[in-house]
Amino acid sequence: MARFLDLHPDNPQPRGLQQIVDALHDDALIAYPTDSGYALGCRVGNREGRDRILRIRGLDDKHHFTLVCRDFSQMGQLVHVDNAAFRAIKAATPGPYTFILPAMPEVPRRLMHPKKRTVGARISGHTFVQHLLEKLEEPLLSSSLILPGETEPRTIGWEIKEELDNEVDIVVECGETSAEPTTVVSWVDGVPEVLRRGAGDPDRFV
């Protein structure tokens, strides 16, 4: 059974955050709120966690995983951001955007698109995510919690607890979250391409 942790939306309790960090270090899979719905997350080095995310979402190995980063500096260690993309991406973060970018050598191959060698990266503005990543001191491997047959991410923690009780290890409740997924922008060939219109304003990249 999954643990259900209800944290304060503005000042998440340090004890609860530490419980989540400890669980992630023990290779737990969590369902957690972001500024664009709930997501599934685990440590980057958690191989089983990656496979569990694919299984829950009904996805194949071509899925673009997302590395959720604490700040732009951490993102820059994981993906290649050329001069053309630098200012635009920095200005849009933190925010409800996912950027598809060439992965740096530090990123495990199993997390990249098998042919393009790309990976998603984002910086969430959600208070809980910021506090968690500060305490975790590393990025989170993540994917929107959109279940098979659905088009929007889940938004209510207790419903996720009921439905995925045997599929995840922790469900975090921490204030309201939007039902609209991130806007996805590919920036692989030197120019932005909006792949999915979502919560972030896509017109700034058109």
Whether the predicted pLDDT of 12 surpasses 90 = yes
Peptide bond into 105 cis (omega under 30): no
Structure token pair of residue 77: 């260690």
Q: What is the structure's pLDDT at 125?
A: 93
The answer to whether the CB of 92 falls within 8 A of the CB of 121 is no
pLDDT average, residue stretch 2-27:
97
Q: Domain total for the chain?
A: 1
Residue 81 belongs to domain with CATH number? 3.90.870.10
Read off the pTM: 0.94
- Judged by average pLDDT, the poorest of 56-65, 97-106, 123-132, 153-162 is 56-65
Alpha helices in the chain (DSSP H): 14-25, 47-57, 72-76, 83-92, 127-136, 157-163
Range of the domain at 111: 3-205
Q: For the chain, what percent of residues have pLDDT higher than 90?
A: 82
pLDDT average, residue stretch 138-145:
96
> How far, rounded to the nearest angstrom, does the alpha carbon of residue 150 sit from its chain's CA centroid?
18
Whether the predicted pLDDT of 176 surpasses 90 = no
For residue 24, which of 42, 51, 2, 3 has the smallest C-alpha distance?
Answer: 42
Residues facing 193 on adjacent strands: 186
Q: For the chain, what percent of residues have pLDDT higher than 70?
A: 100
Residues 6+ apart with CB under 8 A from 191: 84
Q: What is the structure's pLDDT at 31?
A: 98
For residue 64, which of 185, 199, 193 has the smallest C-alpha distance?
Answer: 185
Long-range contacts of 6-9 (CB under 8 A, 24+ apart): 6/157, 6/173, 6/174, 7/128, 7/172, 7/173, 7/174, 8/174, 9/127, 9/128, 9/174, 9/175, 9/176
Confidence of residue 61 (pLDDT cuts 50, 70, 90): confident
